[in-house]
Amino acid sequence: MTLDWPRILDLLAQHVQLSFAALGLALLIALPLAIWSVRSRTVASVTLGFASLIQTIPALALLALFFPLLLALSTVFGDAISPLGFLPSLLALTLYALLPILRNAVTGLRSVEPAMVEAADGVGMTGLQKLWLVEAPLASPTIMAGVRTAAVWTIGAATLSTTVGQPSLGDLIFAGLQTQNWSLVLAGCLVAAGLAITVDLLLGLIESGIRWRRHKRIWGAGIALAAGLAIALWPAPQSDKPVVTIGAKRFSEQYILARLIGQRLEKAGYAVRYREGLGSAVVFRALATDEVQILVDYAGTIWTNEMRRQDPEPRADMIAAIARWANAQHGVQLVGALGFENTYAFAVRPDDARRLGLRSLDDVVRVAPQFVFGTDVEFLERPEWQMVQAAYPLRFKGRRAFEPTFMYRALALGEADIISAFSSDGRIAANGFVVLEDPKGAVPSYDAILMVSRSAAADPQLVAALKPLVGAIPVEKMREANYRVDRDDDKQSPADSAAWLDEAISTKPSSPSPQGTNR
Amino acid sequence: MATSPSFSRPASARGPAVAFEGVAKAYGSTVAIACVDATISPGTFVAIVGSSGSGKSTLLKTVNRLIEPDTGNVRIDGADVASQEPHQLRRSIGYVFQNIGLFPHMTVAQNIGIGARLATGKPLAEARVATLLDLVDLPRDFAARLPEQLSGGQQQRVGVARALAGEPGLMLMDEPFGALDPVTREALGEQYRALHERLGLTTIMVTHDMAEALLFADRVWVMDAGRIAADATPAQLIAGGCGAEAEALVAVPRLQAERITAMRHAEGKLGA
């Protein structure tokens, strides 16, 4: 698989912008705080305590926590505050960079010898002159060491900003992880590591330049850093075509469908950008705020997560209700259902199914105490699991959460005995897993639905380009496309698989039945 | 130190008078200065001696307000030092102390010119730096060096040049030569005394070395438990009758001198 270098360079530029902005903001906050802290023990214990506390929060959680916080603020201040993308990433990374800068600056300023302070006072320096001419220069090597630590941390943690919708090198890592495209993961890691090492080296040159008073070295490294930032900020050549942003969650099907839509729109004369790897909690919000214009989501997800409904409805009524709600609440237009469903499908190994006579979830109730339940990381927190539990009294021996990729392997290897698989996933059939029936209809329907934001809905040409996809993708074709990306041998990229899928649904007229599900 | 006709302070100038009026300072229950009333007439070289903790450094630092007294005033030529901003006051007073305190990230020239930079924002003229280096007997090419490249004695010469750069009338010296070896200390003391004469300075020097005080000062203040126990000329101190504390301090160099003389006599007799 070849790497898409223009995209990697674009992500690198975004990564540089984000991490430099966070580092700069952290410096602006931490340095005055450090000066204040050195003059007051109380302030020092408060600021250092706060910065240490922040550091104990995992970076991923810190990023995620800014979403509800900014969401609440945006209801007060309006659209100026976006809970997605650059702002939450900037704030979380800035907080994360505070500690090393603050701690080193306080240590550096405190370690200025009393004789230096007495001499500075003795020659008649004012407080500011003392700080600027004596304390700051003498503490600067220690401060720079802290800045270097902060820079490396920030560049590393910035990969996580992908999850809140900020493009970064993390896009490559998350996409590669979900599609088991290790060369993509490696590319993301190596470019991020290369950036971190380069910035660290340049800051190291500035540090040694300050220590040994080599002004040329300081200037050289400073100019190199500034040039790097300038290149990152240089606006990409603007195409005169209208630009559409397509959003995708973090699994193969989403990557493939985003490319399928993107390829069709490019043919229709649009310039396409992708915002991939979005968390499923933020993705609809991104559509509602017009940060992405096109999204494929699933009826049951909108029904339970966004509309907070738990009452099952017939599929057609459900889609109609979603269309009314999305338009009325968010100006989002539902273009139509794609023709397949991706629901939660409880799957077991074929030998277990035969030996224990498992055909439906009712049968599982009796063997559950001997079974380990494998799920994706979010299923146990989702309302669907509450609904399943309400319908079937399942008491499992244990539960384990996996990234989707590893969930199927866990079932195959016996690490789990039953999994909450996805019905359109090609790995179910490839492994011969048996999907259990849901006779009580506890799981709502998950028709894949194509939605466009307010601005895209106003573009009839765009909507017209998307219309042919409605009802066009049968589940067998989607499974095959997914499997092309997910299988271990002869792996394809989501873009290649999307091209195959486009071909497959164009040549053979698609099955008119939207009932292409496994149920 | 070398003669230097271009040093602009006129020979006829005299340093200011300094007066302590009821100055007292305590740290919690520890009394540093009990209550000091004393005056120094213009152009006088005063040495303050006393055991550790007698309050001599504290008293010195009330003059340039590195320490603020709890009560009392310090006046320079009649003006209360508290009436001026501390940094303004300090720019008009030379200050030399034991730790030298040269700024390690600045060259010798930048250290000497720091006062000018603070006051005007501009570095001191090269010629002026050269004059000051001449004054303290250092080669002119030292201007570009960093303090770490200098010996302790050379560093303190730069310290003296820095203190003199602003042409102060009053010099405060807090054990200025205490960290130097005896030969360097003697040479520097001698040379500074000559500068004091030539520039017409008023100098207050704290020292724990009684011999230094007796040899270089016009007046010696003996401090004990925060008070001035004796205020006398070196001659009066050597003659005796200035109190027990003064006697004890004078006894040390006198006894050393007598023992050395006795040794020389003994050697002379042996040689004869």
CATH number at residue A324: 3.40.190.10
- Chain A residues whose CB is inside 8 A of the B89 CB are 124
Same domain, A261 and A213: no
Same domain, A261 and A117: no
Position with higher pLDDT, B219 vs A289: B219
Chain B CB within 8 Å of residue A133 CB = yes
Q: Would you say the C-alpha torsion A241, A335, A475, A184 has a positive or negative sign?
A: positive
User: Which residues sit opposite A348 in a β-bridge?
Assistant: A418, A434
Query: pLDDT value at position B271?
Result: 54
- Contact call for residues A412 and A432 (beta carbons, < 8 A): no
| Number of domains making up chain A | 3
Same domain, A187 and A51: yes
Query: pLDDT value at position B98?
Result: 86
Strands A243-249 and A271-278: parallel
* Exposed/middle/buried for residue A28 (C-beta within 10 Å: 0-12, 13-18, 19+): exposed
Position with higher pLDDT, B49 vs A511: B49
Which CATH superfamily is B18-271 part of? P-loop containing nucleotide triphosphate hydrolases (3.40.50.300)
CB nearest to A115's CB, from B99, B119, B146: B99
Query: pLDDT value at position A209?
Result: 85
Chain B CB within 8 Å of residue A138 CB = yes
Strand order through the sheet with A294-298 = A271-278, A243-249, A294-298, A447-452, A333-341
DSSP SS3 for B43? coil
Chain B CB within 8 Å of residue A137 CB = yes
Query: pLDDT value at position A24?
Result: 95
Chain B CB within 8 Å of residue A111 CB = no
Average pLDDT over residues B80-85: 94
The reply to whether residue A118 touches residue B104, judged by beta carbons under 8 angstroms, is no
Rg (chain A; Cα; Å): 27
Would you place residue B269 in the very low, low, confident or very high pLDDT band (cuts 50, 70, 90)? low
Average pLDDT over residues B132-151: 93
B24 pLDDT exceeds 90?
A: yes
The reply to whether residue A125 touches residue B101, judged by beta carbons under 8 angstroms, is no
The reply to whether residue B114 touches residue A126, judged by beta carbons under 8 angstroms, is no
Same domain, A271 and A391: no
Same domain, A323 and A348: no
Residue at a domain's end among A408, A435, A462:
A435
- A221 assigned to some structural domain: yes
d(CA A351, CA A247): 39
Preferred mutation among A113, A123, A138 to probe B, highest tally of B CBs within 10 A: A123
Neighbours of A437 (CB within 10 A): 15
CA distances from B75 to B89, B222, B227 (A): 12, 21, 18
A279 pLDDT exceeds 90?
A: no
Residue A359's closest CA among A283, A438, A286? A438
Which A residues 10-39 touch B at CB under 8 Å?
none
- Contact call for residues A248 and A257 (beta carbons, < 8 A): yes
Same domain, A400 and A483: no
Q: What is the pLDDT of residues A364-390, one digit of tens each?
A: 998 999 999 999 888 888 888 888 888
Query: pLDDT value at position A210?
Result: 81
CATH number at residue A145: 1.10.3720.10
Residue at a domain's end among A182, A201, A233:
A233
Q: In chain B, at which residue ranges do the beta strands (DSSP E only) sit?
A: 18-27, 30-40, 45-50, 71-76, 79-80, 93-97, 170-174, 202-206, 219-224, 227-232
* Exposed/middle/buried for residue B103 (C-beta within 10 Å: 0-12, 13-18, 19+): buried
Query: pLDDT value at position A97?
Result: 92
Q: In A260-332, at which residue ranges do the beta strands (DSSP E only) sit?
A: 271-278, 294-298
Same domain, A219 and A320: no
Query: pLDDT value at position B5?
Result: 45
Query: pLDDT value at position A59?
Result: 83
DSSP SS3 for A470? coil
Nearest-neighbour CA in chain A from B64: distance (Å): 8
Same domain, A39 and A159: yes
A286 pLDDT exceeds 90?
A: no
Would you place residue B241 in the very low, low, confident or very high pLDDT band (cuts 50, 70, 90)? confident
Average pLDDT over residues B193-200: 92
Q: What is the pLDDT of residues A287-328, one digit of tens each?
A: 888 888 999 999 988 888 888 887 778 888 889 999 999 999
Range of the domain at A390: 344-435
Q: Phi then psi for B49, rounded to 5 degrees? A: -120, 170
Nearest-neighbour CA in chain A from B118: distance (Å): 7
Residue identified by tokens 């409904």 is A309
The reply to whether residue A118 touches residue B114, judged by beta carbons under 8 angstroms, is no
Q: Phi then psi for A482, rounded to 5 degrees? A: -60, -45
User: Which residues sit opposite B231 in a β-bridge?
Assistant: B221
Query: pLDDT value at position A233?
Result: 85
Strands B202-206 and B79-80: unpaired
Same domain, A334 and A382: no
Q: Phi then psi for B100, rounded to 5 degrees? A: 65, -60
The reply to whether residue B101 touches residue A116, judged by beta carbons under 8 angstroms, is yes
Q: What is the pLDDT of residues A63-120, one digit of tens each?
A: 888 877 887 787 777 666 777 788 889 999 999 899 999 999 999 999 999 999 999 9
CATH number at residue A350: 3.40.190.120
Percent of chain A scored above 70 by pLDDT? 96
Number of A/B CB contacts below 8 angstroms equals: 57
Nearest-neighbour CA in chain A from B137: distance (Å): 22
Same domain, A461 and A422: no
CB nearest to B87's CB, from A115, A124, A138: A124
Q: Phi then psi for B71, rounded to 5 degrees? A: -135, 165
Nearest CA in chain B to A129: B118
Q: How far apart are the first and last CA of chain B?
A: 40
Q: Look up residue B91 and give its amino acid.
A: R
The reply to whether residue A123 touches residue B114, judged by beta carbons under 8 angstroms, is yes
* B133, two tokens: 């280096």
Query: pLDDT value at position A171?
Result: 87
Nearest CA in chain B to A126: B87
Q: Could you give the angle at which helices B152-164 and B126-135 cross, rounded to 10 degrees?
A: 120
A366-375, B42-51, B108-117, B236-245: range with lowest mean pLDDT: B236-245
Rg (chain B; Cα; Å): 20
Q: Phi then psi for B74, rounded to 5 degrees? A: -115, 130
Nearest CA in chain A to B99: A115
User: Which residues sit opposite B20 in a β-bridge?
Assistant: B38, B74
Position with higher pLDDT, A55 vs B138: B138
Residue at a domain's end among A202, A233, A264:
A233
The reply to whether residue B103 touches residue A116, judged by beta carbons under 8 angstroms, is yes
The reply to whether residue B162 touches residue A123, judged by beta carbons under 8 angstroms, is yes
Query: pLDDT value at position A512?
Result: 47
Q: What is the pLDDT of residues A213-236, one digit of tens each?
A: 788 888 999 999 999 998 888 876
A346 pLDDT exceeds 90?
A: yes
- Contact call for residues B130 and B168 (beta carbons, < 8 A): no
- A33 assigned to some structural domain: yes
d(CA A67, CA A59): 13
Give ipTM to 2 decimals: 0.87
Query: pLDDT value at position A510?
Result: 46
Query: pLDDT value at position A2?
Result: 63
The domain ranges of chain B are 18-271
- Contact call for residues A497 and A485 (beta carbons, < 8 A): yes
- Contact call for residues B154 and B120 (beta carbons, < 8 A): no
d(CA B189, CA A307): 89
- Contact call for residues B26 and B32 (beta carbons, < 8 A): yes
d(CA A431, CA A412): 7
What torsion do the CA atoms of B206, B207, B208, B214 make, to the nearest 10 degrees?
A: -120
- Contact call for residues A442 and A433 (beta carbons, < 8 A): no
Same domain, A316 and A182: no
Same domain, A148 and A204: yes
A39 pLDDT exceeds 90?
A: no
Query: pLDDT value at position A37?
Result: 92
- Contact call for residues A293 and A455 (beta carbons, < 8 A): yes
A206-220, B37-51, B111-125: range with lowest mean pLDDT: A206-220
CA distances from A369 to A287, A366, A399, A417 (A): 42, 7, 11, 11
* A286, two tokens: 């991104």
- Chain A residues whose CB is inside 8 A of the B103 CB are 116, 119-120, 133-134
Neighbours of A504 (CB within 10 A): 17
The reply to whether residue A118 touches residue B97, judged by beta carbons under 8 angstroms, is yes
* A366, two tokens: 């009796």
- Chain B residues whose CB is inside 8 A of the A137 CB are 105
Nearest-neighbour CA in chain B from A147: distance (Å): 21
CB nearest to A122's CB, from B88, B95, B105: B95
Residue A156's closest CA among A60, A30, A50? A60
pLDDT, averaged across chain A: 87
